[in-house]
A and B are shown apart, each in its own frame.
Chain A
Amino acid sequence: MSGFAKPLKIALGLIVIAGLIAIPMNFNRYGLFILSQWAVMTIAAMGLNLTLGYAGQVSLAQGAFVGIGAYASAIMTTHGWPLPAAIVVAIVLAFAVGWVLGYPALRVQHHYLAFVTLAFSTLAFLVFRNESWLTGGIYGISNIPRPHFLGIATTKPLPFYYVCLGSLAIVSLAVWWLIRSPWGRAFMALRENPLRAQSLGIDTRRYTLMAFAIGSALGGVAGALYAPLTQYIDPVPFNLSLSLDLLMMVIVGGAGFYFGPFLGAMIAVLLPEWLRFTEGYYLMLYAIAVMGLLVWSPTGILGILDRYVAERRTKAASALRAVAKSRLETAQ
């Protein structure tokens, strides 16, 4: 990117972060709940973006991994374990399940993972609903406690919002590190040109599996935070619809772009709320907005930006060529 853009981007970033910290202090309970939900869903969407946007695999089970994380967290914290421990368990569990699912699935045809995750999503929902000895079945788990950090209780909406925001920050840094590392480069390579990637020594199967397992683990993290956020969970939210919603967030934000999930989660979680003033029509308008956005830019919001930059570059190159050509002609 050109020189002047970088300090501008950093400044913009700092303003946004400051805003995310300061502005919600004036929000009411509901507003804080929604914003916390946005933060949690962004984490799940970032995971899916790794699997889909970077490694190019469709997963229809991200919602199930959120569920796994949520139940792990709910069960553990209602038995007295601290939330960070629950998050670690959620990560390990979701990663392991992702690995087990992905290992056989990725050996076969292209879209097989999509089908396997679809089946798993259904299976997970059935398990959540029927294994009541563990999950409380259709009655779920209630009175999920919120954590204490260094003596500060986060039971109130604002402190817990900061827990969510802080977790989002940590996850964002981790994902940024991953993308910038050789792994991130390998992910991109296997998405863009798997044949070429293989000829360069990139074990496409291994990296794809890793992307999927890590992506699923992030789903687990989101779930582990979702449980104390809502303080009551039952199987209903963790079905295929959530996986499809997360898919929508990734696509609408822009698959394969780092900030895509942030924007996508904003659209999915915040936009309906902003439209509520239209009363009965708000979901219709939301649907129209999403359809319109996708028709205008099927590569998502950040895809528009990408297109814009590419167009400017092409125009600049064309302009240069035109100048060179005219110089050549006048010289003759």
Chain B
Amino acid sequence: MSAVLEVTDIRKSFGGILAVDGVSFDVREGEILGLIGPNGCGKSTLFNCILGQLTPTGGEVKLDGKLVTGLRPAELNKLGVSRTFQLLQVFPKLSVRENLILAGQEHQGNMASRLVGRSDAGLTDAANQMIGFFKLDHLAEEPAGGLSYGQQKLLDAAMAFMGGPRLVLLDEPAGGVNPTMLSDLKERLVAINRERNATFVVIEHNMEFVMSLCSRVMVMAEGKVLAMGRPDEVRKNPAVIEAYLGH
């Protein structure tokens, strides 16, 4: 299987602080890679470097073999990378359906066609499908701001998939979600991963969520990769245990 994402020796320093210190890894097509590590280990900074939110101080990011280091988030999204946010970022005044249309519209046609074409950029059906998939049917017309936290998380995830991305980076998708909703979320993510052969990288603190969802797990500590392997291997790795318990 080819690598969708290749990260080579990424470094990011803020002034004197080296938040990410030479991280390299590959993500294969269709896999779900978990990214875990104690607070402050550099996971979010790494994410932001990959996503173009931050410019890495050094290193390379390749998407399907193409060099994409330092491209802006909007450009990366057009190339097929999308993300969810740790802190919810849905558009509260728009309805659920409109949020989804918004999430997909930039992938339809070009700017000119989007000006003179249909108001929904032809995405109503796709949006409805997504709504059905994430079981938000009864909420389709509701303003997103009125949804419960867990429902908004589902919407956030759905939005990330509207553009038909190759690679989705999920930032703590389980955070703050109650157990019932959590199993729904996990089940939906597994389903969409299978159906679309989509590749995920998931930052999470919820160990159970990560271990049961991911095919491989990467552990970071102090800006470096500490371990990489299958969940059960990583769990037993003494260095990993120490990183989590020793601090």
Contacts and interface: CB of A to CB of B under 8 A. Distances in A.
Q: Is there any pair of Cβ atoms, one from A and one from B, under 8 angstroms apart in the complex?
A: yes
Interface of A: 178, 180-183, 185-186, 188-189, 192-193, 195-196, 198-204, 206, 313, 317
Given A178-B115, A180-B119, A181-B119, A198 B78 contact: no
30 contacts: A181-B115, A181-B116, A181-B119, A182-B101, A182-B106, A182-B108, A182-B114, A182-B120, A185-B94, A185-B98, A185-B101, A186-B102, A186-B106, A188-B91, A196-B90, A198-B72, A198-B73, A198-B77, A199-B74, A199-B82, A199-B83, A199-B85, A200-B77, A200-B82, A200-B159, A200-B163, A201-B106, A201-B163, A202-B74, A203-B106
Contacts of A200: 77, 82, 102-103, 106, 159, 163
Interface of B: 51, 72-74, 77-78, 82-83, 85, 89-91, 93-94, 98, 101-103, 105-108, 111, 114-117, 119-121, 146, 159, 163
A193 B107 contact: no
Contacts of B116: 181
A229 B86 CA distance: 55
A182 B89 contact: no
Given A198-B74, A201-B74, 10 more contacts: A181-B114, A181-B119, A182-B101, A182-B114, A182-B117, A182-B120, A185-B105, A198-B73, A200-B82, A203-B106
Contacts, number: 74
A206 B77 contact: no
A150 B115 CA distance: 31
A286 to B, nearest CB: 33
A186 B94 CA distance: 12
A204 B101 CA distance: 17
A311 to B, nearest CB: 14
A199 B91 contact: no
Contacts of B159: 200
A309 to B, nearest CB: 11
Contacts of B91: 188-189, 192-193, 196
Contact of A182 (B72, B83, B105, B163): B105
B143 to A, nearest CB: 9
- The residue among A185, A193, A202 with the most chain B CB atoms within 10 A of its own CB is A185
Contacts of B93: 192
B102 to A, nearest CB: 5
A302 to B, nearest CB: 14
Contacts of B117: 181-182
Contacts of B98: 185
A170 to B, nearest CB: 16
A183 B120 CA distance: 10
A262 B31 CA distance: 54
Contacts of A182: 101, 105-106, 108, 114-115, 117, 119-121
Contact of B77 (A178, A183, A201): A201
A245 B101 CA distance: 36
B150 to A, nearest CB: 17
A299 B94 CA distance: 19
Given A182-B114, A193-B89, A317-B146, A199 B73 contact: yes
